[in-house]
Every structure is written in C-alpha cells, then in structure tokens.
C-alpha cells in the first residue's frame, strides 16, 4: 500500500518499490557513504605518507622504485582498477570483508587505490625539507632516521596532506557511488547513495523520478560541500597556493 508513494508530509522523499521511506534510507545511506569516504581516505593517507616519506627522505634507488610503481598505478584507469580489486576481494571468503553488504571490502578497495597523489605530494615536501638546517641539526645530534622523519620533517609536510585528504574524501564518495551503481559496491539491502541510484534506474522510466533525484542530489551537495571545505583548508594551510 505504501509502495511508490510520491513525496508528501508523511514521506518527504517518497517511498521505494518495497514501501520503504526514502528519507530514512538516504540518511542511513549517507552515514555509510560518508564512513566509507573517511575510512578509505584514512587508509590512503597512511599508505601515501609512508611511501612518499620513504621515497623523499632516502632518495636514490628506493625513490626510483617507489615512484615508478606510483606512476604505474596512475597509468591504469582508476575505474578498471576499482572494479578489478572489488571483484577479487568479493571472491575472498573472509567474513569480515563481506559483512553488511561488503562495506569493509569497499573501504579497502578505495583506500588502497587512492594513495598515489598523496605519496607524490609527500615526496615533494620531503625533498624540499630534508636539506633544511633543522634536519641537518637533528642528524648532527645522532637522531635516528625514523625520529627525524616522524618528529621533524613530517609535521612540516602535513598541511598539504590534510588538504589533499579532505578533497580525497569527496572523490572516495564518488568512487563508492559509482561502484555501487555498477553493482560492484555495497550490496543491498544495506543502503548507500550509489546502490539507491542503481535501484532507481528502472523506476525513472516508470515516472518515479524521486527515487533517483534525492540520492543524486545528496551526492552532489555532499561532494560540493567537501570540495568547498578542501578549498578553504588549502587557502588557510597551504602557503604555496595562489588563487
């Protein structure tokens, strides 16, 4: 009886093909989509900072190897890599990866394929900072390489990383939405904005436009808001940025 109800006072965003309130599902799906974006970017930051720090600090052959691997990852189409790794992880019989529609698997997929730009950014900062006087002073005191990296260089290189990670959250949300829309992301009945769009693609032809409009609008507003936050952080934290 409640199926395909258009937006009303009882159901502000309408209902879907099973009579579920779309506002409730969009709020629940937003929590999941944002969590995926934040957690996957946390993984990307850890991997990117580690690789970029090692490449920038030690240089030489290690730098060449790590940067050639980074370049290789950047040359492969991102969507192809996302789908490939998502399919591989889906085939691994690890219960934790498959719980709640495979949320953990999607976090891992997006995280391990989003670190490259951060690694290049950190490497550039380390190359500029490793010859500074305060680093030479730390070396003269006999501090270990690990301590110099973590206590002296990294804190001075973290501001651009914060900006890049913030902007990366928006990209991760779009990646999750794209994967879910194509059927390789979080699986129903766990709601995300992406799989809600996938479920709505046939309903649009039947005139139930609200089933696609509201999830798509939430993706647009969220990504736009995060990009504005990232731009604001860049203006505040990145001294090299000029409008």
Q: What is the pLDDT of residues 21-74, one digit of tens each?
A: 899 999 998 998 999 999 999 999 999 999 999 999 898 899 999 999 999 988
Q: How far is residue 171's CA from residue 116's CA, in Å, rounded to a whole number? A: 13
Q: What confidence category does residue 122 fall into, taking pLDDT thresholds of 50, 70 and 90?
A: very high
Work out how many domains the chain is built from and give that number: 1
pLDDT of residue 47: 95
Tokens linked to 126: 């380390």
Cβ atoms of residues 43 and 108 within 8 Å: yes
Task: For residue 72, give every residue at least 6 positions away whose Cβ sits within 8 Å of its Cβ, in sequence order, or none.
Answer: none
Q: How far is residue 243's CA from residue 176's CA, in Å, rounded to a whole number? A: 30
pLDDT of residue 53: 93
Closest CA to 101 of 22, 200, 176: 176
Q: What confidence category does residue 242 fall into, taking pLDDT thresholds of 50, 70 and 90?
A: very low
How crowded is residue 27: how many other Cβ atoms within 10 Å of its Cβ?
A: 13
Q: Is 159 within a domain?
A: yes
pLDDT of residue 119: 94
Q: Is 32 within a domain?
A: no
Q: Is 228 within a domain?
A: yes
Q: Is 219 within a domain?
A: yes
Tokens linked to 27: 């709020």
243 has a pLDDT exceeding 60: no
Q: Is 18 within a domain?
A: no
Give the mean pLDDT of the chain: 85
Predicted model pTM:
0.85
Q: Which domain holds residue 157?
A: 39-237
Q: What is the CATH number of the domain that holds 214?
A: 1.10.3720.10
Q: Is 34 within a domain?
A: no
Q: Is 4 within a domain?
A: no
Tens digits of residue pLDDT in 76-97: 888 888 888 888 777 666 666 5
Terminal Cα distance for the chain, rounded: 55
Q: What is the CA radius of gyration of the chain?
A: 22
DSSP string spanning the chain? --TTPPS-SSSTT-B-TT--BHHHHHHHHHHHHHHHHHHHHHHHHHHHHHHHHHHHHH-HHHHHHHHHHHHHHHHS-HHHHHHHHHHHHHHS--HHHHGGGTHHHHHHHHHHTS-HHHHHHHHHHHHHHTTSHHHHHHHHTT--HHHIIIIIIHHHHHHHHHHHHHHHHHHHHHHHHHHHHHTSSSPTTS--HHHHHHHHTTGGGGT-THHHHHHHHHHHHHHHHHHHHHHHHHHHH-TT---
Q: How far is residue 30's CA from residue 92's CA, in Å, rounded to a whole number? A: 27
């Amino acid at each position: 009886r409640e199926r395909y109800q258009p937006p009303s006072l009882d159901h502000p965003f309408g209902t879907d093909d099973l009579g579920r309130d779309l506002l409730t599902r969009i709020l629940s799906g937003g929590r999941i989509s944002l969590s995926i974006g934040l957690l996957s970017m946390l993984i990307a930051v850890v991997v990117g900072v580690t690789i970029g720090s090692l490449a920038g600090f030690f240089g030489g052959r290690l730098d060449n190897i790590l940067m050639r691997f980074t370049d290789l990852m950047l040359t492969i189409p991102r969507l192809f890599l996302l789908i490939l790794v998502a399919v591989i992880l889906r085939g691994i019989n690890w219960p934790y990866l498959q719980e709640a529609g495979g949320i953990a698997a999607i976090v891992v997929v997006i995280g391990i394929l989003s670190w490259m730009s951060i690694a290049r950014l950190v490497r550039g900062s380390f190359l500029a900072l490793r010859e500074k006087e305060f680093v030479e002073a730390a070396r003269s005191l006999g501090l270990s390489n690990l301590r110099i990296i973590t206590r002296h260089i990294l804190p001075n290189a973290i501001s651009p990383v914060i900006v890049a990670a913030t902007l990366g959250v928006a990209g991760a949300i779009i990646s999750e939405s794209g994967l879910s829309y194509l059927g390789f992301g979080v699986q129903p009945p766990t709601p995300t904005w992406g799989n809600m769009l996938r479920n709505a693609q046939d309903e649009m032809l039947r005139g139930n436009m609200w089933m696609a409009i509201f999830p798509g609008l939430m993706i647009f507003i969220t990504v736009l808001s995060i990009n504005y936050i990232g731009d604001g952080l860049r203006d505040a934290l990145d001294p090299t940025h000029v409008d």
